[in-house]
Amino acid sequence: MNDLTVSDIERQNVLNNHYAIEHIKDSLGIVGMEFEGEYRFTKKMVAEYYEVDVSTIDRYLTIYSDELKHNGYVLCKGKHLKDFKLQFAHLINEASKTTQLGLFNFRAFLNIGMLLTESEKAKQVRSLILDIVIATINEKVGGGTKYINRRDANYLPTALKEVNYRKQLTSALRACVDGHETNMYSQVTNAIYKAIFKENANEYREVLRLDSKDNVRHTLYAEVLLVIASFENGVGAAIREKYEEQGNKKLLVSEVLELIIRLAESPMQKPYIDDARTKMASRDFGFRDAYHGNIEEYLKAITPDEYDRFIGDKSIDVEQLLDENTEVLKRLKQADDEED
Protein backbone atom coordinates (compact mmCIF):
# COMPACT_ATOMS: atom_id res chain seq x y z
CA MET A 1 0.00 0.00 0.00
CA ASN A 2 1.06 3.58 -0.60
CA ASP A 3 1.18 6.56 1.78
CA LEU A 4 -2.33 7.06 3.17
CA THR A 5 -1.72 10.79 3.52
CA VAL A 6 -1.57 11.21 -0.25
CA SER A 7 -3.91 8.53 -1.64
CA ASP A 8 -7.62 9.25 -1.27
CA ILE A 9 -8.48 5.91 -2.88
CA GLU A 10 -6.41 3.97 -0.34
CA ARG A 11 -7.96 5.93 2.51
CA GLN A 12 -11.43 5.09 1.22
CA ASN A 13 -10.47 1.45 0.73
CA VAL A 14 -9.66 1.29 4.44
CA LEU A 15 -12.79 3.11 5.53
CA ASN A 16 -15.08 0.98 3.34
CA ASN A 17 -13.65 -2.21 4.85
CA HIS A 18 -15.89 -2.55 7.91
CA TYR A 19 -14.24 -5.87 8.81
CA ALA A 20 -10.89 -4.11 9.29
CA ILE A 21 -12.53 -1.09 10.96
CA GLU A 22 -13.84 -3.29 13.78
CA HIS A 23 -10.36 -4.72 14.41
CA ILE A 24 -8.84 -1.23 14.34
CA LYS A 25 -11.43 0.01 16.82
CA ASP A 26 -10.60 -2.85 19.20
CA SER A 27 -6.85 -2.31 18.83
CA LEU A 28 -6.98 1.43 19.48
CA GLY A 29 -9.30 0.98 22.44
CA ILE A 30 -10.61 4.54 22.09
CA VAL A 31 -14.16 5.14 23.29
CA GLY A 32 -16.13 8.22 22.38
CA MET A 33 -19.57 9.43 23.36
CA GLU A 34 -22.24 7.04 22.13
CA PHE A 35 -24.92 9.08 20.43
CA GLU A 36 -27.55 7.90 17.94
CA GLY A 37 -25.94 4.48 17.62
CA GLU A 38 -22.37 5.66 16.99
CA TYR A 39 -19.40 6.79 19.03
CA ARG A 40 -18.82 10.51 18.55
CA PHE A 41 -15.77 12.69 19.11
CA THR A 42 -15.53 16.48 19.26
CA LYS A 43 -12.78 18.40 17.51
CA LYS A 44 -11.14 18.95 20.88
CA MET A 45 -11.12 15.22 21.62
CA VAL A 46 -9.66 14.45 18.19
CA ALA A 47 -6.99 17.15 18.57
CA GLU A 48 -6.01 15.85 22.00
CA TYR A 49 -5.76 12.26 20.80
CA TYR A 50 -3.56 13.14 17.81
CA GLU A 51 -1.62 15.69 19.90
CA VAL A 52 -2.25 18.69 17.62
CA ASP A 53 -4.01 22.03 18.02
CA VAL A 54 -7.74 22.39 17.34
CA SER A 55 -6.75 24.94 14.69
CA THR A 56 -4.94 22.15 12.84
CA ILE A 57 -8.11 20.05 12.86
CA ASP A 58 -10.05 23.06 11.56
CA ARG A 59 -7.57 23.48 8.72
CA TYR A 60 -7.94 19.87 7.64
CA LEU A 61 -11.72 20.15 7.89
CA THR A 62 -11.57 23.02 5.44
CA ILE A 63 -9.22 21.31 2.97
CA TYR A 64 -10.84 17.86 3.12
CA SER A 65 -14.40 18.88 3.92
CA ASP A 66 -16.13 16.64 1.36
CA GLU A 67 -14.10 13.55 2.20
CA LEU A 68 -14.53 13.89 5.96
CA LYS A 69 -18.28 14.55 5.65
CA HIS A 70 -18.60 11.53 3.36
CA ASN A 71 -16.99 9.39 6.06
CA GLY A 72 -19.07 10.59 8.99
CA TYR A 73 -18.10 14.09 10.10
CA VAL A 74 -21.25 16.11 10.82
CA LEU A 75 -22.25 19.52 12.10
CA CYS A 76 -24.67 18.76 14.89
CA LYS A 77 -27.34 21.44 15.32
CA GLY A 78 -30.98 22.05 16.17
CA LYS A 79 -32.75 19.30 18.06
CA HIS A 80 -29.82 16.89 17.60
CA LEU A 81 -27.46 19.37 19.26
CA LYS A 82 -29.93 19.97 22.08
CA ASP A 83 -30.22 16.24 22.71
CA PHE A 84 -26.46 15.83 22.52
CA LYS A 85 -25.86 18.60 25.05
CA LEU A 86 -28.40 17.15 27.44
CA GLN A 87 -26.52 13.87 27.37
CA PHE A 88 -22.90 15.06 27.27
CA ALA A 89 -22.74 18.70 28.40
CA HIS A 90 -20.62 17.70 31.39
CA LEU A 91 -18.01 16.21 29.04
CA ILE A 92 -17.78 18.61 26.14
CA ASN A 93 -17.49 21.93 27.99
CA GLU A 94 -19.18 23.86 25.19
CA ALA A 95 -20.95 27.19 25.72
CA SER A 96 -24.68 26.82 26.16
CA LYS A 97 -25.31 29.25 23.28
CA THR A 98 -23.37 27.17 20.76
CA THR A 99 -25.64 26.66 17.72
CA GLN A 100 -23.61 23.93 16.01
CA LEU A 101 -20.97 21.43 17.04
CA GLY A 102 -18.65 19.43 14.80
CA LEU A 103 -18.68 15.73 15.60
CA PHE A 104 -16.59 12.87 14.21
CA ASN A 105 -17.78 9.29 14.16
CA PHE A 106 -15.10 6.57 14.34
CA ARG A 107 -14.61 6.41 10.55
CA ALA A 108 -14.13 10.17 10.34
CA PHE A 109 -11.82 9.97 13.39
CA LEU A 110 -9.64 7.46 11.46
CA ASN A 111 -10.02 9.49 8.27
CA ILE A 112 -8.42 12.59 9.75
CA GLY A 113 -5.73 10.42 11.33
CA MET A 114 -4.86 9.22 7.84
CA LEU A 115 -4.50 12.83 6.72
CA LEU A 116 -2.56 14.48 9.55
CA THR A 117 1.08 14.83 8.55
CA GLU A 118 2.03 16.93 11.61
CA SER A 119 1.13 14.25 14.14
CA GLU A 120 3.47 11.48 15.27
CA LYS A 121 0.48 9.79 16.91
CA ALA A 122 -1.38 9.82 13.59
CA LYS A 123 1.65 8.25 11.92
CA GLN A 124 1.53 5.41 14.45
CA VAL A 125 -2.19 4.96 13.84
CA ARG A 126 -1.61 4.80 10.06
CA SER A 127 0.97 2.07 10.55
CA LEU A 128 -1.45 0.11 12.72
CA ILE A 129 -4.24 0.60 10.17
CA LEU A 130 -2.15 -0.80 7.31
CA ASP A 131 -1.03 -3.82 9.34
CA ILE A 132 -4.60 -4.63 10.37
CA VAL A 133 -6.05 -4.16 6.88
CA ILE A 134 -3.51 -6.56 5.36
CA ALA A 135 -3.94 -9.07 8.19
CA THR A 136 -7.75 -8.91 7.96
CA ILE A 137 -7.85 -9.60 4.23
CA ASN A 138 -5.32 -12.44 4.50
CA GLU A 139 -7.22 -13.95 7.42
CA LYS A 140 -10.51 -13.79 5.54
CA VAL A 141 -9.16 -15.44 2.39
CA GLY A 142 -6.98 -17.94 4.23
CA GLY A 143 -3.64 -16.65 2.97
CA GLY A 144 -2.73 -15.08 -0.38
CA THR A 145 -5.13 -13.14 -2.57
CA LYS A 146 -4.10 -14.56 -5.96
CA TYR A 147 -7.46 -16.32 -6.29
CA ILE A 148 -9.61 -13.94 -4.27
CA ASN A 149 -11.73 -13.60 -7.44
CA ARG A 150 -12.96 -17.15 -6.86
CA ARG A 151 -14.60 -16.16 -3.59
CA ASP A 152 -17.29 -14.37 -5.57
CA ALA A 153 -20.37 -16.59 -5.89
CA ASN A 154 -20.67 -15.44 -9.52
CA TYR A 155 -17.20 -16.65 -10.50
CA LEU A 156 -17.72 -20.32 -11.34
CA PRO A 157 -20.93 -19.93 -13.39
CA THR A 158 -19.32 -17.09 -15.33
CA ALA A 159 -16.06 -18.99 -15.86
CA LEU A 160 -17.96 -21.94 -17.27
CA LYS A 161 -19.86 -19.69 -19.69
CA GLU A 162 -16.60 -18.10 -20.76
CA VAL A 163 -15.11 -21.52 -21.59
CA ASN A 164 -18.07 -22.26 -23.87
CA TYR A 165 -17.75 -18.92 -25.67
CA ARG A 166 -14.02 -19.49 -25.94
CA LYS A 167 -14.78 -22.65 -27.88
CA GLN A 168 -16.90 -20.62 -30.31
CA LEU A 169 -13.85 -18.47 -30.99
CA THR A 170 -11.30 -21.27 -31.27
CA SER A 171 -13.53 -23.28 -33.63
CA ALA A 172 -13.88 -20.20 -35.86
CA LEU A 173 -10.10 -19.74 -35.84
CA ARG A 174 -9.50 -23.38 -36.80
CA ALA A 175 -12.06 -23.35 -39.59
CA CYS A 176 -11.69 -19.88 -41.05
CA VAL A 177 -8.19 -18.52 -40.34
CA ASP A 178 -4.89 -19.48 -41.93
CA GLY A 179 -2.06 -20.16 -39.51
CA HIS A 180 -0.62 -22.38 -36.80
CA GLU A 181 -3.34 -22.96 -34.21
CA THR A 182 -1.26 -22.39 -31.06
CA ASN A 183 0.25 -19.18 -32.42
CA MET A 184 -3.15 -17.96 -33.58
CA TYR A 185 -4.74 -18.57 -30.19
CA SER A 186 -1.92 -16.73 -28.44
CA GLN A 187 -1.97 -13.72 -30.76
CA VAL A 188 -5.75 -13.39 -30.77
CA THR A 189 -6.03 -13.84 -27.00
CA ASN A 190 -3.37 -11.20 -26.36
CA ALA A 191 -5.17 -8.84 -28.75
CA ILE A 192 -8.44 -9.37 -26.87
CA TYR A 193 -6.72 -8.75 -23.52
CA LYS A 194 -5.16 -5.58 -24.95
CA ALA A 195 -8.53 -4.41 -26.20
CA ILE A 196 -10.26 -4.98 -22.87
CA PHE A 197 -7.70 -4.09 -20.21
CA LYS A 198 -4.72 -2.75 -22.21
CA GLU A 199 -2.37 -5.56 -21.15
CA ASN A 200 -1.36 -8.76 -22.89
CA ALA A 201 -1.04 -11.99 -20.91
CA ASN A 202 2.63 -11.49 -20.00
CA GLU A 203 2.07 -7.90 -18.87
CA TYR A 204 -0.84 -9.04 -16.71
CA ARG A 205 1.33 -11.78 -15.19
CA GLU A 206 3.96 -9.21 -14.24
CA VAL A 207 1.44 -6.91 -12.58
CA LEU A 208 -0.05 -9.75 -10.51
CA ARG A 209 3.35 -11.43 -10.02
CA LEU A 210 2.02 -14.73 -11.39
CA ASP A 211 4.11 -17.83 -12.11
CA SER A 212 4.39 -19.15 -15.64
CA LYS A 213 2.21 -22.12 -14.67
CA ASP A 214 -0.64 -19.91 -13.44
CA ASN A 215 -3.62 -19.64 -15.78
CA VAL A 216 -4.42 -15.95 -16.27
CA ARG A 217 -8.16 -16.52 -16.63
CA HIS A 218 -8.38 -18.30 -13.30
CA THR A 219 -7.41 -15.02 -11.60
CA LEU A 220 -9.90 -12.78 -13.43
CA TYR A 221 -13.05 -11.40 -11.81
CA ALA A 222 -16.44 -12.61 -13.02
CA GLU A 223 -17.30 -9.27 -14.66
CA VAL A 224 -14.04 -9.29 -16.62
CA LEU A 225 -14.58 -12.87 -17.73
CA LEU A 226 -18.08 -11.96 -18.91
CA VAL A 227 -16.72 -9.14 -21.07
CA ILE A 228 -14.07 -11.50 -22.48
CA ALA A 229 -16.81 -14.04 -23.23
CA SER A 230 -18.83 -11.38 -25.06
CA PHE A 231 -15.76 -10.30 -26.97
CA GLU A 232 -14.77 -13.84 -27.94
CA ASN A 233 -18.28 -14.61 -29.11
CA GLY A 234 -18.34 -11.42 -31.18
CA VAL A 235 -14.93 -12.05 -32.71
CA GLY A 236 -15.87 -15.63 -33.58
CA ALA A 237 -19.04 -14.47 -35.31
CA ALA A 238 -17.17 -11.70 -37.16
CA ILE A 239 -14.55 -14.20 -38.39
CA ARG A 240 -17.19 -16.55 -39.80
CA GLU A 241 -19.07 -13.67 -41.42
CA LYS A 242 -15.98 -12.34 -43.19
CA TYR A 243 -14.95 -15.87 -44.18
CA GLU A 244 -18.28 -16.35 -45.92
CA GLU A 245 -18.18 -12.87 -47.50
CA GLN A 246 -14.92 -13.66 -49.25
CA GLY A 247 -16.11 -16.96 -50.64
CA ASN A 248 -14.88 -19.24 -47.86
CA LYS A 249 -11.34 -17.96 -48.24
CA LYS A 250 -9.43 -18.19 -45.00
CA LEU A 251 -8.54 -14.96 -43.19
CA LEU A 252 -5.04 -13.92 -42.20
CA VAL A 253 -4.33 -13.48 -38.49
CA SER A 254 -3.67 -9.80 -39.20
CA GLU A 255 -7.25 -9.48 -40.47
CA VAL A 256 -8.57 -11.04 -37.27
CA LEU A 257 -6.56 -8.53 -35.24
CA GLU A 258 -8.20 -5.73 -37.24
CA LEU A 259 -11.63 -7.18 -36.44
CA ILE A 260 -10.75 -7.11 -32.73
CA ILE A 261 -9.73 -3.46 -32.90
CA ARG A 262 -12.97 -2.51 -34.64
CA LEU A 263 -15.04 -4.45 -32.10
CA ALA A 264 -13.22 -2.74 -29.22
CA GLU A 265 -14.06 0.65 -30.71
CA SER A 266 -17.77 -0.13 -30.99
CA PRO A 267 -19.91 2.23 -28.86
CA MET A 268 -21.92 -0.83 -27.77
CA GLN A 269 -18.81 -2.33 -26.14
CA LYS A 270 -17.57 0.79 -24.36
CA PRO A 271 -19.77 0.60 -21.20
CA TYR A 272 -18.85 -3.06 -20.66
CA ILE A 273 -15.13 -2.52 -21.27
CA ASP A 274 -15.10 0.52 -18.99
CA ASP A 275 -16.80 -1.49 -16.24
CA ALA A 276 -14.34 -4.38 -16.63
CA ARG A 277 -11.38 -1.99 -16.44
CA THR A 278 -12.80 -0.35 -13.33
CA LYS A 279 -13.35 -3.69 -11.61
CA MET A 280 -9.89 -4.99 -12.48
CA ALA A 281 -7.96 -1.81 -11.64
CA SER A 282 -9.79 -1.15 -8.39
CA ARG A 283 -10.03 -4.67 -6.97
CA ASP A 284 -6.49 -5.66 -7.85
CA PHE A 285 -5.19 -2.47 -6.26
CA GLY A 286 -7.24 -2.88 -3.09
CA PHE A 287 -7.15 -6.65 -2.63
CA ARG A 288 -3.91 -7.71 -4.32
CA ASP A 289 -1.80 -4.54 -3.99
CA ALA A 290 -1.36 -4.77 -7.77
CA TYR A 291 -1.29 -1.60 -9.86
CA HIS A 292 -2.44 -1.59 -13.50
CA GLY A 293 -0.76 1.55 -14.81
CA ASN A 294 -2.33 1.32 -18.26
CA ILE A 295 -5.84 1.69 -16.82
CA GLU A 296 -5.09 3.87 -13.79
CA GLU A 297 -7.78 6.37 -14.80
CA TYR A 298 -10.37 3.69 -13.95
CA LEU A 299 -9.08 3.20 -10.40
CA LYS A 300 -11.72 3.68 -7.68
CA ALA A 301 -12.20 2.69 -4.06
CA ILE A 302 -13.55 -0.79 -3.31
CA THR A 303 -17.16 -0.54 -2.17
CA PRO A 304 -18.49 -2.02 1.11
CA ASP A 305 -20.54 -4.46 -0.96
CA GLU A 306 -17.39 -5.69 -2.72
CA TYR A 307 -15.77 -6.35 0.65
CA ASP A 308 -18.82 -8.45 1.54
CA ARG A 309 -18.60 -10.32 -1.78
CA PHE A 310 -14.92 -11.19 -1.56
CA ILE A 311 -14.00 -11.39 2.13
CA GLY A 312 -17.29 -11.16 4.00
CA ASP A 313 -20.69 -12.71 4.46
CA LYS A 314 -21.43 -13.01 0.73
CA SER A 315 -18.11 -14.66 -0.13
CA ILE A 316 -17.62 -18.39 -0.59
CA ASP A 317 -15.01 -20.56 1.12
CA VAL A 318 -12.52 -21.53 -1.59
CA GLU A 319 -11.83 -25.05 -0.39
CA GLN A 320 -15.51 -25.80 -0.01
CA LEU A 321 -16.15 -24.31 -3.43
CA LEU A 322 -13.55 -26.56 -5.02
CA ASP A 323 -14.88 -29.66 -3.30
CA GLU A 324 -18.46 -28.96 -4.35
CA ASN A 325 -17.62 -28.15 -7.96
CA THR A 326 -15.07 -30.78 -8.93
CA GLU A 327 -16.73 -31.57 -12.26
CA VAL A 328 -17.08 -27.92 -13.20
CA LEU A 329 -13.42 -27.30 -12.44
CA LYS A 330 -12.42 -30.28 -14.56
CA ARG A 331 -14.13 -28.60 -17.49
CA LEU A 332 -12.30 -25.36 -16.74
CA LYS A 333 -9.01 -27.24 -16.52
CA GLN A 334 -9.46 -28.45 -20.09
CA ALA A 335 -9.10 -24.82 -21.19
CA ASP A 336 -5.54 -24.84 -19.84
CA ASP A 337 -4.48 -26.80 -22.91
CA GLU A 338 -4.84 -23.59 -24.88
CA GLU A 339 -2.56 -20.60 -24.57
CA ASP A 340 -3.69 -17.87 -22.14
> What would the pLDDT profile of 160-205 be if each residue is shown by its tens digit?
888 889 999 999 999 999 988 888 999 999 999 999 999 999 999 9
DSSP string, 214-238: S-GGGGS-HHHHHHHHHHHHHHHHH
Of 141, 174, 197, the domain-final residue: 141
Pair (302, 186) in one structural domain: yes
Q: State the residue range of the domain holding 28.
A: 8-141
- For the chain, the helix, strand and coil percentages under 3-state DSSP, each to the nearest 5: 70, 5, 25
Q: Residue 81 CB: number of other CB atoms within 10 A?
A: 17
Pair (79, 174) in one structural domain: no
Pair (152, 238) in one structural domain: yes
Confidence of residue 339 (pLDDT cuts 50, 70, 90): very low
Instruction: Say if residue 228's pLDDT is above 90.
Output: yes
Pair (83, 196) in one structural domain: no
Q: For residue 12, count CB atoms less than 10 angstroms from its CB and return exposed for 0-12, middle for 13-18, buried for 19 or more.
A: buried
Average of per-residue pLDDT values in the chain: 90
Pair (16, 159) in one structural domain: no
Q: For residue 328, count CB atoms less than 10 angstroms from its CB and return exposed for 0-12, middle for 13-18, buried for 19 or more.
A: middle
- CA 108 vs CA 62, 124, 188, 230, 318: distances in Å: 14, 17, 48, 42, 34
Residues 117-168 pLDDT 10s: 999 999 999 999 999 999 999 888 887 899 999 999 899 889 888 888 999 9
Query: Does residue 3 belong to any structural domain of this protein?
Result: no
Residues 101-115 pLDDT 10s: 899 999 999 999 999
Instruction: Tell me the three state secondary structure of residue 303.
Output: coil
- Angle 306-21-64 from CA coordinates, rounded to 5°: 90
pLDDT score of 277: 97
Pair (184, 129) in one structural domain: no
Of 84, 114, 141, the domain-final residue: 141
* pTM for the whole structure: 0.86
Pair (99, 160) in one structural domain: no
Q: Who's near 129: CB < 8 A, 6+ residues apart?
A: 4, 14, 20, 24, 110, 113, 114
